[in-house]
Amino acid sequence: MCGITGFISLHGELSHSKDYLSSALLKLKKRGPNAQGIFRDQNCELGHTRLSIIDTSSAADQPMSSENGRYTLIFNGEIYNFLSLKEELKKKYEINFKTTSDTEVLLYGLINEGKSFLQKLNGFFAFCFYDKDANYYLLARDRFGIKPLLYSFNKKHLIFGSELKAIMCYPVEKEIDKIALHQFLQFTYIPSPRTILSQTKKLEPSHLIEIKDSQVKLKKYYTYYPTNKSDDDYDTAKRKVFDILHESVEKRLVSDVSLGTFLSGGVDSSIISAISAKYKPNLQTFSIGFPDEPIFDESKYAAIVANHIGSKHHCFEITNNQLYNHLEDFLDYMDEPMADSSALNVFLLSQETKKHVTVSLSGDGADELFSGYNKHQALYFSLQQDWKNKLIKKRGDLAKILPSSRASKIGNIGRQIQKLHEGLNMDITSRYLHWASFMDDKLLDKLSYANYHSTELIEGSTSSDPFNDFLFHDFNLVLENDMLRKVDTMSMSKSLEVRTPFLDHELVEYVFSLPSSYKIDQKNRKKILKETFYNELPKEVFSRKKHGFEIPLNKWFKNELLSFIENEIFRNNKALKMGLINEVGLKLIEKKWRDRSEGNTVYHIWSLIILDNFLKKYIF
């Protein structure tokens, strides 16, 4: 796990005199605090910051070059099947490896097999491979976007990096992309390939960039949504899910440094921790407790699971005051706006976990793959056409008399019923986008200047099963751009590597081939996952409702952040002064807030705070 960045000249030799690369590497230092390396020649400069995980010796530092000096690689990620690939390369090409690292395996795999070697990789990665003699470059990102890679190019050069803050150290255009801003206000994140800057893009998952003879070509190298559906019966499918997930976890326990697992007490992290404990004696597990927010505190369930699997458990209790005291550091590390408030939770969990281990496994990806969210249950409900469906479709507007807020049980029920009612009266595409959004179209039209419709984000599904299509959209949209980015950014801010066993491509391919009836019914979400591992964990894990985590924004807005909101968001808004948002929409948000019409208003204000932080830090 590392940080990478580089500057590639597309025509002739490098001409700039400033040391942009060193500045960019400084921004990536937390991603890789153990070593820093630079490669320069007349065509390019490549930089790497290293978090040492596999082969911690200096021999495995990067940039890594071949013995003859022709090829160079900078690589961020882990290749879990590198040992089997290494043996294959040894036999086929008689390579004499000098290290025990996966970096060297990737280097010689690309040297000998080129981009086709990507199909053999099991892991997560973002890299740049350079062939000096051919003046050829290959940049690639892993199948599901676990590791980030951003780039900016014009006719003269291509710049790339692991984070936007590194890209902005180079001479890049800093014009705000108003469509990206619209997406951020709608979803709280910016979907790839856009970034907040109009001339900088995210390399999408499963994509590569080839540069040859000054020509830049973008290609997709992998597709995971199957056209052939599995005909396995339910019991066979359970056995396969069990076996593939065990294999995935076992692969991800390979490390030359200390390793543990996140354990929230929910189904997904509990399954990963339970499997890990089978292969790793004295497993360490980590969770956070929130004594001031009992509705979100799952620490007692994490303790039950830890006791059941025999792990050495660490629970860090965080009060609301402690959360607030970390807010400044959290905002300081953030670059491209992302307003998922639970990122602060991951920030603090990573901080405490890093005190004990350098690698942690997580349960990310299971909700999108197996159907874990309320919106998945809502979609299933909407497809049934029974009397309950018809009743809410006609009379769900009565829920408007209920309080609408995420901060209380009754408020959350009111919010969910309102959103369900609104979605039931839409076509299925609009329904998905409505349930995936934090800001509705009416408010967006008043706040955003972009003439944009987000339906383009969910094109390309091929299934005759609308529910599986829905999961596919979540996997592409929410998982990559919100969940995975949140975990990568926050964990890397603390130099902690997080691995995601549910995102092994063999498991993803298999689960997407299964019918939706294996994943959800009237009573259960993540049906096959829960039933597969029901006897492996305490019954309490499966009998309780899923909880997320929300930081106490509304409390802060009425107290600690009140003056800031009044002065910086509603009176001297930077985005408003720059012509990025419309005053009509801003006034409407202010009115709803003052009228205590909560709903999602508190999250709209949080998004404006995150945007304000970005503009002040990087644009003004």
State how far the Cα of 600 lies from the Cα of 478, in Å rounded to an integer: 18
C-beta separation of 289 from 314 below 8 A: no
> What residue has token string 């009509």?
584
Size (the chain), residues? 620
Q: Is the peptide bond before 193 cis (omega within 30 degrees of 0)?
A: yes
Both structure tokens of 60: 């495995």
Which option is the CATH number for 2-220: 3.30.2130.10, 3.20.20.110, 3.60.20.10, 3.30.43.10?
A: 3.60.20.10
- The residue among 349, 190, 194, 201 whose CA lies nearest residue 285 is 349
Q: What is the pLDDT of residue 400?
A: 54
With 80 as the cut, is the pLDDT of residue 278 above it?
yes
Question: Which amino acid, one-letter code, is at 242?
Answer: F
Question: Which amino acid, one-letter code, is at 74?
Answer: I
499-537 tens-digit pLDDT: 999 999 999 999 999 999 999 998 899 999 999 999 999
* H helix runs in 475-600, sequence order: 485-492, 505-512, 527-532, 540-543, 553-558, 562-564, 574-577, 583-594
186-222 tens-digit pLDDT: 999 999 999 999 999 999 999 999 999 889 999 999 9
Q: What is the pLDDT of residue 599?
A: 72
**pLDDT interval class at 465 (50, 70, 90):** confident
Class of domain 234-367+476-543: alpha beta
Region 299-328 average pLDDT: 96
Q: What is the pLDDT of residue 12?
A: 79
Both structure tokens of 617: 């830090």
DSSP state letters, 125-177:
EEEEEEETTTTEEEEEE-TT-SS--EEEE-SSEEEEESSHHHHTTSS----B-
Residue 396 makes CB contacts below 8 A (sequence gap 6+) with 417, 418, 420, 421, 422, 424
Q: What is the pLDDT of residue 226?
A: 66
Three-class SS of residue 242?
Answer: helix
318-374 tens-digit pLDDT: 999 999 999 999 999 999 999 999 999 999 999 999 999 999 999 999 999 999 998
Q: Is the peptide bond before 171 cis (omega within 30 degrees of 0)?
A: no
Both structure tokens of 400: 């408007």
Q: What is the pLDDT of residue 419?
A: 72
Supply the mean pLDDT for the chain: 92
Both structure tokens of 424: 């039931």
Q: What is the pLDDT of residue 556?
A: 94
State how far the Cα of 427 lies from the Cα of 142, in Å rounded to an integer: 33
Q: What is the pLDDT of residue 470?
A: 87
With 80 as the cut, is the pLDDT of residue 579 above it?
yes
With 70 as the cut, is the pLDDT of residue 402 above it?
no
Q: What is the pLDDT of residue 18?
A: 80
Region 27-35 average pLDDT: 97
Residue extents of the structural domains in the chain: 2-220, 234-367+476-543, 552-620
54-71 tens-digit pLDDT: 999 999 999 999 999 999
Q: pTM of this prediction?
A: 0.93
Region 121-131 average pLDDT: 98
DSSP state letters, 539-557:
THHHHSPP------HHHHH
Q: What is the pLDDT of residue 596?
A: 80
State how far the Cα of 99 lies from the Cα of 246, in Å rounded to an integer: 28
